[in-house]
């Protein structure tokens, strides 16, 4: 099995969780959490390096000898022995408890030891029976919070982040390269770019379907074969995720891809329109129906399927029966934004706060990706846990940015602009003085604290930021973390209206854990004419690559390059800000 850096990091996060659950030394727990952070931020794939016996993992800053040995064991043997032993010692449901927002390893351990709670169902029952409030450190509010978080924990058991599903799909594609096939595509919600994915649908054309199925059964992650027939096979992975394989003839590949890509609502409209034309569409093709007779007329490609009913081919991201149809007819939509349209990245962090790379390293990474300007947007002082910048440190950083900008713009035509991610404080004021914020090239405003405030209070905080003359954009506007934290209560339509009135932008945060705004909110921005910024919020050079995730989300909202502010070149971007002011 080839382990991605994120997968390796996940194993160390789990090890830290289970050790903390057992009350292990806090230093050891911290060491494994730090290792996970370092591994996620490492630029090169570690799996291949660790397979090389001459590579010393302790050469990576932050990786000690014990962690290095475990990393190598994981890559070479497929498991960390200590982690596997911990998993054997504890019920399977313990890990599920750790997915409940607000229920960390220590509290989960208390529930396990005191109330024998080892599953989400038992946890829910105990909260409903008001048993938790009898324990020290728990109360009625804790019970309410846990009950609200149970839906997130349960959905995380059933779905994966799109980025995690993509990683599995990538490895599976490589694995299936070991058997002859002519065509291979993933369909379903992964192809439509949904934020989370419930399973993988795989469509294959191959000379020997049985050989493809045999090869799928040999995939390292497969725990069991659920079902197998002549053309269909379903397997379940060790994490519970399901993969459904369909082997189809070449003349049906396009129709199968269209059918299993969905969405169901989109396909209902497609089939209804086909029926009006005397046609039938299913996974095997488009058929002309004449009495009891059915004649195949199309299906080799998706374009053929849509052309047979007189409709254009729709980008998969739009197939939700929303933007692609108007009055049940196909809409004339301009070309959607592409990753290559992005010219700059407006939100990233460096070693000055909680990033892992310097300003120059982030600039080099962005330049290598084809971008032509960046904004350095480290945290402001309120975010103390990330060593947020006070005004003195920020102004010193900006002097460094100005020097680097002069050198890089002259040598490479690449701009490095000075910015800040300034917290909107609980009382609605900004974390830095007006005098300092006025000197920035770009001010990003965001909420990190007081996220449980009432809807009116959080909304007013955001409105205050939108009204502030130096604020340019509101970052991750709903504060959600997919499969981990629900959005905070905010009147987003009111915030959007304020952005229209004050000429401000809203961020589409491309971090796959956030993807905030969602696709419907993104579409509403375009409708209102609010500029959207697609930003990485990167904390490492490798983190810059998540811009692709943001572009997919923007496409789901129907955005074109003209709707996204950072598709402009540096001069155009700066001109927009100058004109706004």
Residue-wise pLDDT for 520-551, tens only, equals 999 999 999 999 999 999 999 999 999 999 99
Looking at CATH, the fold of the domain delimited by 261-330 is given as Beta Polymerase; domain 3 (3.30.210)
Percent of the chain with pLDDT over 70: 97
The two counts, helices (H) then strands (E), for the chain are 23, 19
Contact (CB, 8 A) for 460 and 428:
yes
Distances (CA, A) of 27 to 20, 32, 544, 555: 10, 9, 31, 44
CA angle 72, 77, 80 (to 5 degrees): 65
Rounded mean pLDDT of the chain? Answer: 91
- Higher-confidence residue of 463 and 220: namely 463
* Domain assignments of the chain as residue spans, ordered by start: 5-158, 160-247, 261-330, 339-580
The answer to whether 389 touches 353, Cβ cutoff 8 Å, is yes
DSSP string, 16-76: HHHHHHTT--HHHHHHHHHHHHHHHH-SS-HHHHHTSTT--GGGSTT--HHHHHHHHHHHH
Note the pLDDT tens digit of each residue in 254-289: 999 999 999 988 998 999 999 999 999 999 999 999
How confident is the model over 490-515, as a mean pLDDT?
96
Residue bearing tokens 């100058």:
578
Count of C-beta atoms within a 10 Å radius of residue 398: 21
Confidence of residue 193 (pLDDT cuts 50, 70, 90): very high
Closest CA to 43 of 365, 289, 269: 365
Q: Answer whether residue 172 shows pLDDT above 90.
A: yes
Backbone angles phi, psi at 500, to 5 degrees: -60, -45
For residue 250, pLDDT beyond 60: yes
DSSP state of 132: G
Asked if 132 and 110 touch (Cβ cutoff 8 Å), the reply is no
- The reported pLDDT for the residue numbered 2 is 58
Q: Which residues 6+ apart lie within 8 Å of 80 measured at CB?
A: 11, 15, 70, 73, 74
pLDDT at 145 over 90: no
Say if pTM beats, i.e. exceeds, 0.85: no
The topology under which CATH files domain 339-580 is TIM Barrel (3.20.20)
Q: Return d(Cα 220, Cα 175) in angstroms, integer.
A: 9
What gap in Å lies between CA 394 and CA 374, rounded to an integer? 17
Strand partners, 507: 533
- pLDDT at position 559 is 97
Which numeric CATH code is attached to 160-247? Answer: 3.30.460.10
| Contact indicator for 531, 564 with CB cutoff of 8 Å | yes
Residues 6+ apart with CB under 8 A from 235: 216, 217, 219, 222, 223, 224, 225, 226, 242, 243, 245
Q: For position 556, what pLDDT does the model report? A: 96
Instruction: Measure the CA–CA gap between 42 and 32, rounded to whole angstroms.
Output: 15
Q: Which two tokens stand for residue 201?
A: 């649908």
- Whether the CB-CB separation of 72 and 57 falls below 8 Å is answered with yes
Stretch 334-349: mean pLDDT: 97
CB atoms within 10 A of CB 264: 9
Q: What is the pLDDT of residues 39-54, one digit of tens each?
A: 876 756 788 788 888 9
Q: Which residue has the tokens 């229920």?
A: 103
pLDDT at 78: 84
* Distance in angstroms (rounded) separating the CA atoms of residues 77 and 220: 12
Distance, in Å, from the CA atom of 89 to the CA atom of 66, rounded to the nearest integer, reads: 21
Residues 6+ apart with CB under 8 A from 534: 342, 507, 508, 510, 547, 550, 551, 554, 564, 566
- Judge contact between 346 and 444, C-beta under 8 A: yes
Q: What is the pLDDT of residue 142?
A: 84
State residue 195's pLDDT score: 94
Count Cβ atoms within 10 A of the Cβ of residue 442 and give its class: 0-12 exposed, 13-18 middle, 19 or more buried.
buried
List helix spans (H) across 309-390.
359-368
**Torsion angle (degrees, nearest 10) of CA 257, 258, 260, 261:** 100
pLDDT of the residue at 151:
73
Residues 250, 299 contacting (CB under 8 angstroms): no
Architecture of domain 5-158: Orthogonal Bundle (1.10)
Q: What is the pLDDT of residue 156?
A: 55
């Amino acid at each position: 099995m080839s382990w991605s850096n994120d997968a390796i990091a996940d194993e160390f996060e789990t090890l830290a969780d289970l050790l903390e659950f057992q009350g292990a030394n806090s230093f050891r727990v911290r060491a494994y959490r730090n290792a996970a952070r370092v591994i996620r931020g490492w630029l090169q794939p570690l799996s291949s390096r660790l397979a090389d016996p001459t590579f010393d993992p302790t050469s990576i800053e932050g990786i000690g000898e014990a962690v290095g040995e475990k990393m190598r064991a994981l890559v070479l043997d497929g498991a960390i022995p200590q982690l596997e032993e911990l998993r054997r010692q504890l019920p399977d449901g313990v890990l599920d408890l750790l997915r409940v927002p607000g229920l960390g390893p220590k509290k989960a351990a208390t529930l396990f030891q005191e109330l024998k709670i080892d599953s989400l169902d038992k946890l829910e029952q105990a909260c409903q029976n008001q048993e938790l409030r009898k324990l020290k450190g728990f109360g009625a509010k804790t019970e309410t919070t846990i009950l609200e978080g149970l839906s997130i924990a349960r959905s995380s058991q059933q779905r994966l982040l799109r980025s995690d599903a993509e990683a599995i799909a990538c490895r599976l594609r490589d694995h299936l390269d070991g058997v002859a096939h002519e065509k291979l595509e993933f369909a379903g919600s992964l192809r439509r770019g949904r934020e989370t994915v419930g399973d993988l649908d795989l469509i294959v054309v191959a000379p020997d379907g049985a050989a493809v199925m045999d090869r799928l059964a040999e995939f390292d992650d497969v725990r069991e074969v659920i079902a197998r027939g002549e053309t269909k096979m379903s397997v379940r992975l060790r994490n519970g995720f399901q993969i459904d394989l369909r082997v189809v003839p070449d003349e049906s590949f396009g129709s199968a891809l269209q059918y299993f890509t969905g969405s169901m609502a989109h396909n209902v409209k497609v089939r209804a329109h086909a029926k009006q034309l005397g046609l039938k569409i299913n996974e095997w093709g488009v058929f002309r129906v004449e009495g009891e007779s059915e004649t195949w007329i199309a299906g080799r490609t998706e374009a053929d399927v849509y052309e047979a009913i007189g409709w254009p081919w729709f980008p998969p991201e739009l197939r939700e029966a929303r933007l692609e149809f108007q009055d049940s007819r196909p809409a004339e939509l301009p070309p959607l934004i592409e990753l290559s349209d992005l010219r700059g990245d407006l939100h990233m962090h460096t070693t000055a706060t909680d990033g892992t790379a310097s300003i120059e390293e982030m600039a080099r990474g962005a330049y290598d990706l084809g971008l032509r300007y960046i904004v350095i947007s480290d945290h402001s002082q309120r975010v103390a846990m990330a060593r947020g910048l006070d005004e003195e440190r920020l102004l010193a950083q900006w002097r460094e940015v100005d020097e680097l900008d002069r050198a890089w713009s002259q040598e490479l035509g690449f701009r490095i602009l000075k910015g800040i991610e300034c917290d909107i404080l609980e009382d609605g004021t900004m974390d830095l003085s007006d005098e300092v914020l006025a000197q920035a090239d770009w001010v990003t405003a965001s909420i990190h604290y007081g996220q449980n405030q009432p809807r009116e209070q959080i909304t007013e905080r955001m409105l205050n930021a939108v009204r502030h003359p130096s604020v340019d954009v509101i970052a991750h506007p709903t504060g959600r973390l997919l499969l981990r934290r629900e959005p905070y209560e905010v009147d987003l339509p009111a915030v959007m209206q304020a952005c229209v009135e004050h000429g401000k932008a809203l961020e589409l945060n491309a971090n796959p854990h956030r993807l905030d705004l969602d696709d419907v909110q993104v579409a509403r921005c375009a409708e209102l004419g609010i500029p959207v910024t697609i930003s990485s919020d990167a904390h490492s050079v490798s983190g810059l690559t998540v811009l692709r995730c943001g572009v997919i989300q923007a496409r789901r909202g129907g955005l074109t390059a003209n709707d996204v502010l950072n598709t402009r070149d540096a001069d155009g971007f700066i001109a927009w800000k100058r004109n706004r002011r």
